[in-house]
Amino acid sequence: MNTPVLEKQKKYNKWIWTLSILIPIVVVILFGIKLPNVEPLSFLPPIYAGINAMTALVLVLAFVAIKNKKIEWHKRLVQFALGLSVLFLGMYVAYHMTSESTPYGGEGLLKYIYYFILITHILLSVIIIPMVLITYVRGITMDVERHRKIARITFPLWLYVAITGVLVFILISPYYK
């Protein structure tokens, strides 16, 4: 392993782990805060569901780009997917700071499917944070072998989180007020 590459990556490790811990904590804290006298941002859920759909599409395009050895295109698409994820998170938190959570109203098998999708989506959305950041850092520091190794795990998990975000919205949308 190339020592300068490892040194560069070590520089990023503090940021990776700080963000990986802080983001979920801050989201949970902000979830508990309701902004007084603020109109609910009820228009946001279909927008951030659309952002999740775009993220999934961009991730697939990034995968196709790298399979075709279009490294610069792959890099730009991954950066775009990261930006979309940050945008999603901002809108998601803003919505929940101005609106009450919508309870799921379905019954039977669909209810169990919904909760399975929701729970796996939430758990993996937390787990994926350090994985995405580590994968990204290994890519930008040109640690290609280690980047490929973790990307094989990160890509399908990140794609799952993006797709299940859309599915959660579709399944809960009939119950929005």
* Single-letter amino acid code for the residue at 58: V
Is residue 33 one of the residues assigned to a domain? no
Radius of gyration of the chain (CA): 18
Q: Which residues form the domain of 60?
A: 3-16+41-175
Strand extents, DSSP E, 27-146:
none
Tens digits of pLDDT across the chain (177 residues): 567 767 777 788 889 999 999 999 999 998 888 888 889 899 999 999 999 999 999 999 999 999 999 999 999 999 999 999 999 999 999 999 999 888 999 999 999 999 999 999 999 999 999 999 999 999 999 999 999 999 999 999 999 999 999 999 999 999 987
Is residue 21 one of the residues assigned to a domain? no
Is residue 36 one of the residues assigned to a domain? no
Q: What is the CATH number of the domain that holds 166?
A: 1.20.120.80
Residue linked to tokens 């990986």: 20
Distance CA 133, CA 47 (A): 24
Is residue 45 one of the residues assigned to a domain? yes
